[in-house]
Amino acid sequence: TCAILATLTLGVGSSRPTRAGVSNSFWWQEERYTDGSKWRFLEHKGPVFVPAYEPLPEKVKFYYNGKPMKLSAPAEEVATFFAKMLDHEYTTKDIFRKNFYKDWRKEMTSEEKSIITDLKKCDFSEMNEYFKAQSEARKQMSKEEKQKIKEENERLLSEYGFCIMDNHRERIGNFRIEPPGLFRGRGDHPKMGMLKRRIRPEDVIINCSKDSKHPKPPPGTKWKEVRHDNKVTWLASWTENIQGSIKYIMLNPSSRIKGEKDWQKYETARRLKKCVDRIRTQYREDWKSKEMRIRQRAVALYFIDKLALRAGNEKEEGETADTVGCCSLRVEHIKLFPKMDEQEYVVEFDFLGKDSIRYYNKIPVEKRVFKNLQLFLENKQPEDDLFDRLNTSILNKHLQELMDGLTAKVFRTYNASITLQQQLKELTCCDDSIPAKLLSYNRANRAVAILCNHQRAPPKTFEKSMQNLQTKIDEKQNQLSAARKQLKAAKANHKASHDDKSKKAVEVKRKAVQRIEEQLMKLQMQATDREENKQIALGTSKLNYLDPRISVAWCKKWGVPIEKIYNKTQREKFAWAIDMAEKDYEF
DNA sequence: CTACAGACTTGTGTCCATTTCC
DNA sequence: GGAAATGGACACAAGTCTGTAG
């Protein structure tokens, strides 16, 4: 930070009440804006654009109906997008093909349109092979060539990858404009295959402060607009053509603007901790309400609290994949079982959530919840809303009344963080080794990931890598017994001779045994951890739901180096927490 | 209330560099 | 030395939530 601040050439405008000019000030030691403004000074170079399309070499041909056909540059470019994806399952899907074909035709000349009338008769395979060869060639490049590319990337990063916001030089998150290509939605997306068009400077709005050096558009082009809105955090934006939504260029998570917000998020969750009992009592009471909308609200909130479900905004039908959250659950997504196995009042959830990830869970609920659900289901079709008198806006308005700043997602943050803290308390044994403590940490993290339904497909190489690890463990075990034998022999030898040399030998062997024991244990911990982690992804919860101060405090308390928990990027993002949290921090 | 724009967070998949393995 | 495994960085899609207009 010192170096960074020293090089600042801020104009006026650094009247943000900070320790401006103090070289080692961290943003979390500074005062915050109270008027809703996000910055006073903002200077950057604008985004990096995708290079213009380079037509294919003459020899690489596209064939229609078996005959080579030279395409116009615009049509060829879009064709290459498809050709690059030939190995992907996407290109076999009807919707993908239909959407692609429709958008491709828009790029064709009228002559091309008249010739190309059937996608099935299009042969992109030569193009596909060309791109494969290209990427192969890239892998085969010499060290020098690779180094050159690396340096060019670093140059681009240093020029465009940073901005100055108030008194800090900050890393920009995504300073590159998204390249054109074919849209790949997740799940069953109705728009998959559509052409994502090329973004030009004329599409881009720049946001910076008036008194900054404005970014220059590439030669011969203009920005759509240059504005100076310090109530928002983005540096540039454009409207994307698939959903018509706005894309932004914003700062890296290590930045003040993101860090402050993140910190604030956890403070809100901590305030929920103080009143969550009251809120729980209230919604249980509301299960008995005379009003349907209140009962629905109370049951939905119970699910959000107990199961960490997302809020579930309404979505425009046909625009996106059919996924739901709590408030948008439909009748077809739950099943009620008055009795199941040993349990009473079991609800089975089965639906596609965010990113079309399946949520499947069977949970026993209170009788009153169960009876309410039966009531909500009465006279409804499978595709009807379960909570027909509720949406996220109603729910959040209610939550706002219960606590300032409370929204549905705060429950996810709160429950995730409190679970981590409880699990850490429960699982950590003070005289465990560091690897054992790390296993406990990962187990606590895992409990959260399971709660939040952060699944992953088991890695393709999972079984094999488990086997490899087991082999290592077996080898280590053999080593250990060998070392133990040697120790025994050394002891016997020492007993016989009683000299210094043999005594030393015993010590050496003892150390060796100890070392191997440690290594073995470490491997065993690793194996357990990996096995338990087969279908669980820890990253998302670690990055977005767990108050980092809990982890930092845990590390300090047990003498675990922070690097064992957070990698470099994560340490940058959580620098505020690493600096602030002491070993007695309580979420 | 509904619809929509806008801003920001959360989430997965993929690419790529580094490490590990043989 | 090269191939395979691994983990981090990045891309960008898909959510949440707020505000505003009608």
Residue A51 has a pLDDT of 93
Res A371: pLDDT: 97
Which nucleotide lies nearest residue A139, CA to C1'?
A: B16
Helices (H), A22-124: 73-84, 94-107, 110-115
What is the reported pLDDT for A508?
76
Bases of strand C lying below 7 A from some protein CB? 4-18
pLDDT bin (cut points 50, 70, 90) of residue A24 is low
Q: Which nucleotide is nearest to A192 (CA to C1')?
A: C13
Give residue A366's pLDDT. 96
Which CATH homologous superfamily contains domain A258-408? Topoisomerase I; Chain A, domain 3 (3.90.15.10)
Class of the domain covering A417-580? mainly alpha
Of A435 and A375, which is predicted with more confidence?
A375
A575-579, Cβ contacts within 8 angstroms, sequence gap of 24 or more: A575/A26, A575/A254, A575/A259, A576/A26, A576/A27, A576/A28, A576/A259, A576/A263, A577/A263, A577/A547, A577/A548, A577/A549, A577/A551, A577/A552, A578/A548, A578/A552, A579/A26, A579/A28
SS (H, E, C) A205-252: EEECCCCCCCCCCCCCCCCCEEECCCCCCCCEEEECCCCCCEEEECEC
Using C1' positions and the CA of A461, the closest nucleotide is C5
Domain A62-140 - what CATH class? Answer: mainly alpha
Residue A464 has pLDDT above 80, yes or no: no
CA–CA distance from A403 to each of A74, A272, A307, A347 (Å)?
55, 8, 20, 29
Please state, for a pLDDT cut of 70, what percent of chain A lies above it: 91
Residue A545 annotated as catalytic:
yes
- Give chain A's length: 587
Q: What is the mean pLDDT of residues A244-273?
A: 95
Q: Does this chain's domain A62-140 share its CATH topology with A417-580?
A: no
At A537 the pLDDT is 83
Average pLDDT over residues A28-47: 92
Q: What is the mean pLDDT of residues A26-36?
A: 88
Q: Domain A38-49+153-252 carries which CATH code? A: 2.170.11.10
Q: For residue A15, is pLDDT > 50? A: no
User: How many CB atoms neighbour CB A111 within 10 A?
Assistant: 9
Largest CA distance in chain A: 100
**Nucleic strand B under 7 Å from the C-beta of A452:** yes
Query: pLDDT of A290-335, one tens digit each?
Result: 999 999 999 999 999 999 999 999 998 889 999 999 999 999 999 9
Indicate whether A462 pLDDT > 90.
Answer: no
**Which residues 61 to 120 of A reach strand B, CB within 7 A?**
none
- pLDDT tens digits for range A361-418: 999 999 999 999 999 999 999 999 999 999 999 999 999 999 999 999 999 999 999 9
Residue tagged 């000299």 (tokens): A499
In the set A90, A130, A414, A545, the catalytic residue is A545
pTM of the model: 0.87
**pLDDT at residue A529, as a whole number:** 65
Cα–Cα distance for residue pair A472/A527, rounded to 1 Å: 10
pLDDT score, position A279: 97
- Given the structure tokens 């150390």, which residue do they identify? A511
pLDDT at A20: 43
CA dist list (Å): A349 to A315, A329, A334, A358: 20, 10, 5, 10
In this predicted structure, the answer to whether residue A460 has a pLDDT above a threshold of 50 is yes
Residue extents of the structural domains in chain A: 38-49+153-252, 62-140, 258-408, 417-580
pLDDT tier, A543 (very low <50, low <70, confident <90, very high otherwise): very high
Is there contact between A242 and strand C, defined as CB under 7 Å from any strand atom? yes
Lowest-confidence region among A25-34, A190-199, A398-407: A25-34
Give residue numbers, 310 to 329 of A, with CB < 7 Å from strand B. 310, 316
Per DSSP, helices labelled H in A384-461 are 392-402, 408-427, 434-451
Question: Can you tell me whether residue A451 is helix, strand or coil?
Answer: helix
- Mean pLDDT within A94-115: 96
If you average pLDDT over every residue of chain A, what do you get? Answer: 88
Give the mean model confidence (pLDDT) for residues A563-575. Answer: 93
Secondary-structure breakdown of chain A: helix, strand, coil percentages, each rounded to the nearest 5: 50, 10, 40
| CB of A266 closer than 8 Å to CB of A585 | no
Range of lowest pLDDT (A18-32, A486-500, A523-537):
A18-32
